Chain A
């Protein structure tokens, strides 16, 4: 039987890695893309992690918003990119604006310039947008996306909808109405509302926002359609979701939460990758080791038994956590990646992890 991960990286077009922060998600994403390249595919890994961890993992100094090719000994191609939220959004605006004037007006608006940095979910949405764009370009057979380490698990699933909701925001749609004389009655109430907000954050801020929504008029439809297409791509059979976790208690709890959310959204988890599992040395019993250590207290051999006992009980505890998680994601296959003696921060390190990942 083919290892489950090998099937994913050889057959699927899109793999989305989700999980909480600090569990090695970026490393996992890079490993999956590397596996794709090894299987002869044109693979690209997209990261949105602001900490540039993928850059570390790939030994790259910097990534840009267009994929750059990583040279290496594999039959396919390996590309990597770091998402630039702002320029991705700029491109979208240019694409859906009616004319250059409208685009320029939006791009120059201070409120718009804040959107990419401040509006929650923008980063996630732009990641999915970029994914769509890369997929559409036909330049890649496999795109692996590393999702942001947000605690609001799966924000990226809601993100496209959230942005269109934001653009449709009732309050601000009403705010724009004063230009239409027949809604004068509404306008009086909303002007009062506007004044209150102005009192808190200042008039300029509110004027910027109103100007933005006015400039955006007419573009919502394009954005909404695009968001719909992105969502369709995410739920198409070409797309696979991989859950990444580590065996620590808090990471397991978060992973279970992710699993539940994915199930609610009717998205199957194709594989569970558990990173950073401490190795289990031999099949002896930790309690017996500890008892032996006690009879040897103060000796070097006693210290070695204590050490063995510590690692065995740790490995057993971690395995118990993982089993709990496995039950929640069944029947998804599980891949355990050991906590390596060295940190992963180059291609050799990725290759070592890849060895465990494909072994399944």
Chain B
């Protein structure tokens, strides 16, 4: 499947995963890949604070769209914005002719009361706004960096839950439309991110089944992030190799080379096992991204990840439907 086809399969891509799995990095790499195929991309960040600007080497995020990477030479523009429940509520009230009470509602803490009366309303306000952007075609591809930390399921389930609590009114209509969006693979694909480690693999499997069974979401491929690029010759003895090459090693260096090789070999094997375990537990195609040995990720590293992502997407079978 070519990257452009992948990025246009649905207008909205939701990237979800636990904290620490590199969800924001994957969001950025996906945006970069889409932009390279000429698509304009809008990233939506729902938690206010984000590492996104550092990845792009751009300015801070705001409720108004900020350019993360400009367009040019056939590359599409990447923009990003934040969208918090409070922002979304204000906008919702203003759009629905309740401008007069919107400030009072927001300032009085009544949102907390209303949100408790109808759980999931904050998520619906956000998803409702995302749906509006999707309908308006705000960009060729809209990527939602979903909330981290166990909230992915609740976030995406909120519409279902709300239908039980709210029987009438515009919010119910909003929830129905959000479910329509989430369950239509032609409009929305959900991409889960995980690490090739025991606990993250268990968690992503649980999340995937919950989303498919309870929300009716058809999931896109799962991204396995942070795989050590495989080195084949890790078992070789450095001293023997040095002899063969007619060179010598500095004192202590053989031990360091051996220890580093052993560490990598162990992690490689462990990751390999986890990737296989994930494949058998979760029948979704995998997109595998390399671990980068740079501690600070910026535009250069993002390019490496976008390249890797494009290669992985190319290896996916073409859509049959």
Which A positions have Cβ atoms within 8 angstroms of B?
A: 20-23, 49-51, 53, 56, 110-111, 114-115, 117-120, 148-151, 165-166, 169-172, 193, 196-206, 208-209, 246-251, 253, 279, 281-282, 284, 296, 299-301, 303-308, 310-314, 317-318, 320-321, 341-343, 345
Which B positions have Cβ atoms within 8 angstroms of A?
A: 18-21, 24, 47, 49, 51, 54, 93, 96, 98, 101, 104-105, 108-110, 112-121, 148-150, 165-172, 197-199, 202-203, 231-234, 236, 238, 241-242, 245, 247, 250, 252-253, 255-257, 259-261, 263-264, 266-267, 270, 293-297
Interface contact B168-A169, CB-CB below 8 Å: no
CA distance A259 to B163 in the complex (A): 41
Interface contact B233-A303, CB-CB below 8 Å: yes
Total A-B Cβ pairs within 8 A: 208
CA distance A296 to B172 in the complex (A): 66
Q: Tell which of A305, A320, A341 touches B266, judged by Cβ atoms closer than 8 Å.
A: A341
Interface contact A313-B293, CB-CB below 8 Å: yes
Interface contact B49-A118, CB-CB below 8 Å: no
CA distance A39 to B59 in the complex (A): 50
Interface contact A21-B245, CB-CB below 8 Å: no
CA distance A169 to B105 in the complex (A): 12
Interface contact B116-A118, CB-CB below 8 Å: yes
Closest residue of B by beta carbon distance from A318: B295
Task: Please give 13 more A-B residue pairs, beta carbons under 8 A apart, in addition to A119-B116, A282-B252.
Answer: A56-B198, A118-B116, A118-B120, A149-B19, A200-B96, A202-B167, A248-B295, A249-B295, A282-B253, A304-B257, A307-B264, A314-B295, A341-B270
Interface contact B49-A165, CB-CB below 8 Å: no
CA distance A208 to B119 in the complex (A): 13
Interface contact B257-A308, CB-CB below 8 Å: yes
Which residues from chain B contact A205 at a C-beta distance below 8 Å? 114, 117-118, 165-166
Interface contact B117-A111, CB-CB below 8 Å: yes
Interface contact A282-B256, CB-CB below 8 Å: yes
Interface contact B295-A165, CB-CB below 8 Å: no
Interface contact B270-A343, CB-CB below 8 Å: yes
Interface contact B295-A321, CB-CB below 8 Å: yes
Q: Tell which of A114, A304, A345 touches B117, judged by Cβ atoms closer than 8 Å.
A: A114
